[in-house]
Structure 1
Amino acid sequence: MINKTFLGFTFITSLAVGLPTYAAVSTQEAGALGNTLTPLGGETAGNADGSIPAWTGGTKQSPATGNNFIPADLFAADKPVLKITAANMAKYTDKLSEGTRALLQKYPDTFRVDVYPTRRTASAPDYVYKNTAANAVSCKLTQNGQSVEGCFGGIPFPVPKSGAEVIWNFLLRVEPEAVEYGFKNVVLTSDGGQTLATRNDNAWQYPYYYQKGSVQSWSKEYFLQRFSTTAPAFKAGETLVIRDSVDPQQARQAWQYLVGQRRVRRAPTVAYDTPDFVASGANYFDEVQGFWGMPDRYDWKIVGKKETYIPYNTNGQSTAPMDKAFAPHHLNPDTLRWELHRTWVVEATLASGKRHAVPKRTFYFDEDTWLLTLLDGYDAEGKLWRTSQVLPFVVPAVPAVLIKPVAVFNLQAGTVSNVQALNGENFRVVPLKSELYFTGDAVAAEGVR
């Protein structure tokens, strides 16, 4: 059961979808940012017993060295303060998600949660802090929670009043203007095997975070993506272009180049609960990066705010070599760092008239970054079916805590889809490209084989 006690906040229960447009918070509420709240909306103070320290500014910006902007180990001297296993998990149930408890029970001999000292590394460039403060008093939900207006370049709702506001905080989370990286989709099979589904070169661009942008000039597109598959050989050259907007009328535009067809075509099904062909169908498209796409198929409700053991500062896992990153049925506990953080717990239930293979989900969002860290999915009978571990890593060159990799567990099938694994790859913050690069026409013009 989820502890529904708010820590330092009044308990909120509100549905966003289906309700009228929300007004922004008052100037007085927004004034807490940078004082009792961090500039992005987390509680500045630590918790009562000190196991969560006060936020003191997070990671400071520092220049990147080499081709990989993800430092391997920011806290090399840290040792686990706690090791949670199936044998002792009962003592820590109130701080574990249901999915984490299920993994401890399913793999009692190999899966464990190594809890390290909590490091509140969340930070962002000053322009993001400034924009977040402005958003607090100007940003509003529109179209029954399916869109937003009046925000740009920062967290839209740093003092959230509804579940829909929290999911938009995640969708519009802090990002650099543009990044490039290689990634692998690795599937762990029920018999303990490991398969490389695809290896890909990826480019992302975030118009919502353009430093020279504004509320007035923003196109309403919040990310642009283009990637090409390089392995296995029979898929090499396949390309996918995706553009997401806060406008529900053009929420996702996608184009795919298929080697066999030798042409670019629209790909409208690259969304929601369509099996992700980039990962051999081992996860749904909206499970990429935890949750990926429009929130319109669910009603969103804040359940509460609670202290939770979550993956955090996972640079060591993301930079580990392939042979160290994975165990037969889960991520390697030796490389995965967990910490105690306050999380917003949000429940998503299927909206009236909508369909989705996963009709109910429970999300755990880190209060400091609004990053999704854990996600539990339930089947039509209300039984836990899926659980995801999203891996926040620190990039001091921004500075920010970012996510890309996610491990999606199908608990009933005993499989794991490791999506956008960065192991053995380089991650770089790069200059902006022309937005024309992120179009189907550009892919066709380049004559990808």
Structure 2
Amino acid sequence: MGKMVFSNCSLALSLGLIGQFALGAVSVEQAAQLGASLTPLGAEKAGNAAGTIPPWDGGLSSGAGNRDPAGFLSNPFATEQPLFTITVQNMAQHQDHLTPGQMAMLKRYPGTYQLPVYRSHRSANAPDFVYQAARENATRTRMVDGGNGLENFSTAMPFPIPQDGLEVVWNHITRYRGGSAKRSHVQATPLADGSFVPVHFKDQFTFRDRVADFDPANPGNVLFYYKQLVTAPSRLAGDVLLVHETLNQVKEPRLAWLYSAGQRRVRRAPQVSYDGPYPAADGQRVADNQDMFNGAPDRYEWKLVGKREIYIPYNSYRLDGADLKYSDIIRPGHINPELTRYELHRVWQVEATLKPGERHIYAKRVLFIDEDSWQIALADHYDARGTLWRVAEGHLSPMYDLQIPWLGTEALYDLINGRYIVSGMHNEEKEALQFGFTSSAAEYTAAALRSSGIR
């Protein structure tokens, strides 16, 4: 394990006040750090002592590049070359900035897996109204029901100055993603030889703030609505998953429905949670693996280990390029490392240990969360024997023209069976990503599913 790097202005102060503010909200004096020594979302503004992590200067400007008619963003760092490449041969020199999962992948695929490391750019940012919400949340949002729900929460990032691991995880769960989005993307579960059949999806989600009849005075328990339509291959085409994601899933469990095009039937899908099988994933991902981690946190004890400086996937515009085919990305064992980009960033390290008496296929998870976006960038998953089993990578591609931190491609690698699942690819898709629209709650009802899934 690499050495821990603790923040003087956020982590140390916060840990010292856990007893005083056990449920979440911090003092007005602490919140005043936001926008001063801390960024508006709670990251350290300053760079690191070595100068290898720069100060945050507001993130990428909206004019850093262009969006073409198909919706693809240009790469503002296209001319940059790797500073160096980490391989199994030289990983010992860099182990202080690597996770156990990264080192396991280097050993598992010594001839092909590598990490090209580039200059770091703190490109993530968000609109002013998100910053304002985070500042207000800091002094008023609290965890309720043993940390399984939130009260007095608005928009995104309830705990920009987190005091424990669960608060960091809540920041990931509620992070800003544009309020609403529609996208076409592809998922694949390659065999060990790299062969794959692409599964095509159309996704749509709307956070409650973007629902037409949302009442801030009576927000209810729904955090966002989510709908996913399979459009190919033909054996799955027309199937639809619908989710009402609740803030407190212990008080009111996630509501999920599946529409089967073959049966022309809608049915409740309580299994789409925790370690239940995720649709069309060929057994390579469970429900709460999507988005690196999602859903109720109640089955784990969450420990805030500290901050580390880690090489994480970042500014992955090359991987999202319109000039690539899916066959360019997918390789045996892992995605094509020639298309990836890693940068040194500060991350929050959170360790989740399964509570006594609870059940999950992952007995322990270790999450590495980007301080600037609250996106989980890397995650290690351990089985009941304590063996490192699966390694997840989330390739961040901030939508700088819209000020949206965005997770593009994500991959979950199985170190035991040599397979993996990769999702979020949209390189060959013709429909552009759409953000910021307003939806009606009626679009996300079980009654509306059948018409959504007609082949």
TM-score (norm 2): 0.92
1:325-371 per-position Cα deviation (integer Å, ceiling 9, x unaligned): 22221111111110000000000000232110001010000011110
1:383 is displaced (CA, Å) by 1.1
1:73-115 per-position Cα deviation (integer Å, ceiling 9, x unaligned): 1211211112100110000001001110011111111111001
- Where 2:136 maps in the other structure, the secondary structure is helix
Q: Distance in 1 between matches of 2:398 and 2:83?
A: 21
**Is the CA contact (8 Å cut-off) linking 1:239 and 1:258 kept in structure 2?**
yes
**2:412 paired residue number:** 408
Q: Distance in 2 between matches of 1:20 and 1:39?
A: 21
1:208-237 per-position Cα deviation (integer Å, ceiling 9, x unaligned): 567996753423322211121111111111
Judged with a 3 Å threshold, the aligned counterparts in structure 2 of structure 1 residues 250 and 61 are, in CA distance, closer, same or farther, namely farther
1:275 is displaced (CA, Å) by 2.0
2:441 matches 1:435: yes
Alignment of 1:391-406 (within 5 A): 391-406=395-410
Q: Distance in 1 between matches of 2:212 and 2:36?
A: 25
**1:77 paired residue number:** 79
Equivalent in 356, 365, 376 of residue 372 of structure 1: 376
Equivalent in 382, 386, 393 of residue 389 of structure 1: 393
Equivalent in 358, 366, 374 of residue 362 of structure 2: 358
**2:337 paired residue number:** 333
1:419 is displaced (CA, Å) by 2.4
2:317 matches 1:323: no
**2:106 paired residue number:** 104
- Where 1:279 maps in the other structure, the secondary structure is coil
**Is the CA contact (8 Å cut-off) linking 1:350 and 1:360 kept in structure 2?**
yes
1:281 is displaced (CA, Å) by 2.1
Q: Distance in 2 between matches of 1:127 and 1:363?
A: 28
Unaligned ranges ≥5, structure 1: none
Alignment of 1:232-271 (within 5 A): 232-248=233-249, 249-271=251-273
1:214-262 per-position Cα deviation (integer Å, ceiling 9, x unaligned): 7534233222111211111111111111110112232311111112221
Structure 1 stretch displaced more, 313-322 or 146-155: 313-322
Q: Distance in 1 between matches of 2:215 and 2:62?
A: 23
2:32 matches 1:25: no
**Is the CA contact (8 Å cut-off) linking 1:175 and 1:209 kept in structure 2?**
no
Alignment of 1:7-26 (within 5 A): 7-8=7-8, 9-10=11-12, 22-26=23-27
Q: Distance in 1 between matches of 2:417 and 2:142?
A: 41
Q: Distance in 1 between matches of 2:75 and 2:55?
A: 22
**1:286 paired residue number:** 288
1:278-297 per-position Cα deviation (integer Å, ceiling 9, x unaligned): 22222111111101211111
Q: Distance in 2 between matches of 1:405 and 1:361?
A: 20
- Where 2:337 maps in the other structure, the secondary structure is coil
Task: Number of aligned residue pairs: give it.
Answer: 445
Q: Distance in 1 between matches of 2:424 and 2:186?
A: 5
**1:114 paired residue number:** 116
1:375-430 per-position Cα deviation (integer Å, ceiling 9, x unaligned): 00011111111110011111123212211531001101111111232332332225
**Is the CA contact (8 Å cut-off) linking 1:184 and 1:197 kept in structure 2?**
yes
Q: Distance in 2 between matches of 1:132 and 1:264?
A: 38
Q: Distance in 1 between matches of 2:443 and 2:400?
A: 27
Judged with a 3 Å threshold, the aligned counterparts in structure 2 of structure 1 residues 346 and 11 are, in CA distance, closer, same or farther, namely farther
Structure 1 stretch displaced more, 210-219 or 125-134: 210-219
1:30-77 per-position Cα deviation (integer Å, ceiling 9, x unaligned): 000001000000000000111100000002235974454441412112
- Where 2:189 maps in the other structure, the secondary structure is strand
Alignment of 1:132-211 (within 5 A): 132-190=134-192, 192-196=193-197, 198-208=199-209
1:445 is displaced (CA, Å) by 5.0
Unaligned ranges ≥5, structure 2: none
Letter in 1 for 2:366: T
Runs of 4+ in 1 over 6 A off after TM superposition: 11-14, 209-214
1:136-178 per-position Cα deviation (integer Å, ceiling 9, x unaligned): 1011111111111111013110000011100000000011121
Q: Among the aligned pairs, what percent are the same residue?
A: 34
Judged with a 3 Å threshold, the aligned counterparts in structure 2 of structure 1 residues 93 and 371 are, in CA distance, closer, same or farther, namely same
- Where 2:196 maps in the other structure, the secondary structure is strand
Q: Distance in 2 between matches of 1:77 and 1:260?
A: 49
Q: Distance in 1 between matches of 2:142 and 2:134?
A: 13
Q: Distance in 2 between matches of 1:12 and 1:109?
A: 43
1:206 is displaced (CA, Å) by 1.4
Q: Distance in 2 between matches of 1:235 and 1:423?
A: 21
**Is the CA contact (8 Å cut-off) linking 1:394 and 1:402 kept in structure 2?**
yes
**1:3 paired residue number:** 3
Letter in 2 for 1:391: H
Structure 1 stretch displaced more, 405-414 or 313-322: 313-322
**1:307 paired residue number:** 309
Judged with a 3 Å threshold, the aligned counterparts in structure 2 of structure 1 residues 225 and 23 are, in CA distance, closer, same or farther, namely closer
Q: Distance in 2 between matches of 1:394 and 1:446?
A: 30
Judged with a 3 Å threshold, the aligned counterparts in structure 2 of structure 1 residues 85 and 216 are, in CA distance, closer, same or farther, namely same
Q: Distance in 2 between matches of 1:275 and 1:193?
A: 22
Q: Distance in 2 between matches of 1:34 and 1:72?
A: 29
Judged with a 3 Å threshold, the aligned counterparts in structure 2 of structure 1 residues 225 and 116 are, in CA distance, closer, same or farther, namely same
